[in-house]
Amino acid sequence: MKSVHSSDGTKIAYEAVGSGSPVVLVGGAFNNRSSTAGLGALLADAGLTAVSYDRRGRGDSTDTPPYAVERELEDLAAVLGDVGATAVYGMSSGGILALLAVQHGLPVTRVAVYEPPYNSDKSEDFADEQDARVRAGNRDEAVEVFLASTGMSSEAIAGMRQGPAWGYLVSLAHTLSYDARIVARASVKDLPQVGTEALVVDGDASPPFLRAAAKAVAAALPNATAVSLAEQTHNVDIAVLAPVLAEFLARP
């Protein structure tokens, strides 16, 4: 593990694997650097250097209140600078963060995203409500509300509560408002500002709202390629995704 300090002094932990051109992998909700490590290993096998990092408040990274999306952009900028990367891949809300990074002038020359949830009607109010739940000690409720907001049934959520991963999800409950604030900043109408070469990927078995969002993002970006992966959902098979990303990221 390595680390770099962001502009506000927050320590951001990361790991890099491979020996080729570097790409920084940005996870979404409930993700830490271990969430993208499997994909990173496949990209390393394809000849890239994959950098997985803990977004602030997760894993081995620290946190510095108050939260702001701009602080996460500074974190990403610090990682990019430390590893010398100009390519970024973002998953879900991490994809929105990656595109916001380009909009805000970070030195990104190539950006790939998987199902960034643009136009999902989330607001800052939702983020405030999640913060209030966590402050009140209702971390389980914050996780349940988030999962329900993605369309998961109450029966499925109840089943997850009994599973081994529930404790991990609850441990990241305080970061759910972070992702909500990132989603609240996402606007397709702002995307024409992003002239960077882009790849927008979705799964053809994903929920319609995610597929529609990917289509809208690809149409709005002036220099984008759209790819739909057969039989894939939001929980994408990294063995299917990795070759598509590698082909795009390794272009001269």
Nearest-10 Cα torsion for 38, 115, 94, 42: 20
> What's the mean pLDDT in 5-29?
98
DSSP letter assigned to residue 67: P
* Closest by Cα among 205, 18, 244, 251 to 113: 244
- Amino acid identity for residue 238 in this structure: I
DSSP letter assigned to residue 235: S
pLDDT band at 241 (very low <50, low <70, confident <90, very high): very high
pLDDT band at 251 (very low <50, low <70, confident <90, very high): confident
Reported as a single tens digit per residue, the pLDDT across 203-227 is 999 999 999 999 999 999 999 999 9
Cβ proximity of 154 and 144 under 8 Å: no
In three-state form (DSSP H/G/I as H, E/B as E, the rest C), the secondary structure along 48-102 is: EEEEEECCCCCCCCCCCCCCCHHHHHHHHHHHHHHHCCCEEEEECHHHHHHHHHH
As to burial, measured by CB atoms within 10 angstroms (0-12 exposed, 13-18 middle, 19+ buried), residue 158 is exposed
CA gyration radius for the chain?
A: 17
pLDDT at 245 over 80: yes
* Closest by Cα among 87, 86, 113, 81 to 99: 113
pLDDT band at 119 (very low <50, low <70, confident <90, very high): confident
Structural domains of the chain ordered from first start: 2-120+187-249 (3.40.50.1820), 124-177 (no CATH)
Q: Is the peptide bond before 66 cis (omega within 30 degrees of 0)?
A: yes
pLDDT band at 154 (very low <50, low <70, confident <90, very high): very high
Residue 100, beta-bridge partner list: none
28-37: buried (b, 16+ CB within 10 Å) or exposed (e) per residue?
bbbbbbebbe
Percent of the chain with pLDDT over 90: 95
Locate 68 and state its tokens. 């702001």
Locate 163 and state its tokens. 């599973």
pLDDT at 120 over 80: no
pLDDT for 123: 81
As to burial, measured by CB atoms within 10 angstroms (0-12 exposed, 13-18 middle, 19+ buried), residue 161 is middle
Reported as a single tens digit per residue, the pLDDT across 53-100 is 999 999 999 999 999 999 999 999 999 999 999 999 999 999 999 999
User: pTM (2 decimals)?
Assistant: 0.96
Q: Which of 33-37, 76-80, 247-251 has the lowest mean pLDDT?
A: 247-251
Average predicted confidence (pLDDT) for the chain: 96
